[in-house]
Amino acid sequence: MSNKKLNLSTTIVHSDYQPPEGFSAFPTAIHHASTVLFKDVEAMRARSWLNKSTYTYGLHGTPTSFQLEAEIAHIEGGTHCLLAPSGLAAITLVNMAFLASGDDVLIPDNAYGPNKEQGAWLQRSFGISVRFYDPMIGAELVDLILPNTKLVWTEAPGSVSMEVADVPAICAAAHSKGVLVALDNTWSAGLAFKSFEHGVDISMQALTKYQSGGSDVLMGAVITRDVELYNRLMMAHMRLGFGVGMDDVYLVLRGLQSMKLRFNAHDVAARKIAAWLKSRPEIGKVLHPAWEDCPGHENWKRDFNGAGGLFSVLFDEKYTEAQTDQFVNQLQLFKIGFSWGGSHSLCVSYRMASMREAWQEKGILVRFNIGLEAVEDLIADIEQALDAM
Ligand SMILES: Cc1ncc(COP(=O)(O)O)c(C=O)c1O
């Protein structure tokens, strides 16, 4: 049917404009879609959303999200990846794919807070037993495994208290009893720690951090090397309806190109600032995995090849919370806020006793996210805030 015979309200909807061939540029095109078109009824009936070499419905992906999935899988050293609307949604995806009523899951006590909160909710409302374990347990995890244990979470390092778990020992213990291991690999962005080379079955990352790099996008990813696990994740992903917006996917794709350089810059700056803090009398311990003060430092040395910009300190125990709050409030360049991986430096004070029953350390814990500002300016900012404390 020629458009010339149709009314304007129809031709506005069914434009027959064809752009010229031959356009070539670096950015991935942003393919938005809810409806995906089939060329005929047979093609529609033959569709399978499980087959990622075809398109069925926007929820299951467009070329834009498929590209990001492929790139994240590549960085992590996996073969399959699924995107989720946030890092926490990616944790949910893993739990929903591998747990059912009557199962048991082990979560480290230093895990990302909402992961633990979700675990408590699974126990309260969904008949799943959830137990929190000492993150430094290593091979002894084997003693915690019950016949109904289906999943072990690990997070290295814990993103507030920074203990670096012995991931290979935890994986070996879990695998000896046929139990899957999922790692929250957000801290290393899949750059500084290669999950699958250390025995992990399912890696999860919050792409909200270094991958986006702009403190403006929420997104998560789950990565695996195992087709069977991937198929279970795909079913859960579909049932949960976890779509992502293609504009956000584009922003993450753009961020990825500079991620390694940014990650290294955050790492270099954070180590300089951690070294400076270590020399200050106000600081009791520097909980940076590259420092001996940090539990699991040996595991970091053995298993990691970098550190990024996130670490914590424990103030000397003589300082009260009122004083360390004053320190945080006094900072000018460091802003108060959660998350990390963006250009701006951040600082957060934590009440560890309310987060961890077994917390033994003395002194108030303050976490720093070192951004991309000049190190000497950040040190000067911390210095003036310490002096005012
Ligand atoms: C270690 C860790 N995992 C997961 C998440 C969740 O990411 P999102 O904020 O995208 O839900 C966060 C967020 O701070 C985190 O710190």
153-172 pLDDT, tens per residue? 999 999 999 999 999 999 99
Contact in structure between 159 and 294 (CB atoms under 8 Å):
no
* Residue to mutate, 153, 159, 222, 348, ligand 1, most ligand atoms under 8 Å from C-beta: 159
Task: Pick the atom of ligand 1 nearest to 208's CA.
Answer: 10
> Mean pLDDT throughout 347-372?
95
Provide the percentage of residues in the chain whose pLDDT is more than 90: 97
The residue to which tokens 């961890």 are assigned: 356
For the full predicted model, state whether its pTM sits above 0.75: yes
The b/e string for 134-164 (b: 16+ C-beta within 10 A; e otherwise) is ebbbbeebbebbeeebbbbbbbbbbbbbbbb
DSSP, collapsed to helix, strand or coil, labels residue 184 as strand
Rg (CA), the chain: 23
What sign does the CA torsion over 123, 165, 370, 378 have?
positive
Q: Is the pLDDT of residue 271 over 80?
A: yes
Q: Which of 215, 213, 181 is nearest to 198 (CA)?
A: 181
* Residue to mutate, 93, 186, 216, 340, ligand 1, most ligand atoms under 8 Å from C-beta: 186
Task: Determine the Cα–Cα distance for residues 282 and 272; give it in Å rounded to an integer.
Answer: 17
> Mean pLDDT throughout 182-191?
98
Q: Is the pLDDT of residue 13 over 80?
A: yes
Task: Determine the Cα–Cα distance for residues 245 and 169; give it in Å rounded to an integer.
Answer: 38
Confidence of residue 357 (pLDDT cuts 50, 70, 90): confident
Give the residues surrounding ligand 1 with Cβ less than 6 Å away: 86-88, 112, 159, 184, 186, 206, 208, 218, 220, 338-339
Confidence of residue 301 (pLDDT cuts 50, 70, 90): very high
* Dist. CA 13 → ligand 1 center (Å): 41
Q: Is the pLDDT of residue 181 over 90?
A: yes
Q: Whose CA is nearest to atom 8 of ligand 1?
A: 87
Q: Which two tokens stand for residue 4?
A: 């010339």
Task: Pick the atom of ligand 1 nearest to 88's CA.
Answer: 11
Q: Whose CA is nearest to atom 7 of ligand 1?
A: 87
Number of residues assigned to the chain: 389
Task: Pick the atom of ligand 1 nearest to 155's CA.
Answer: 1
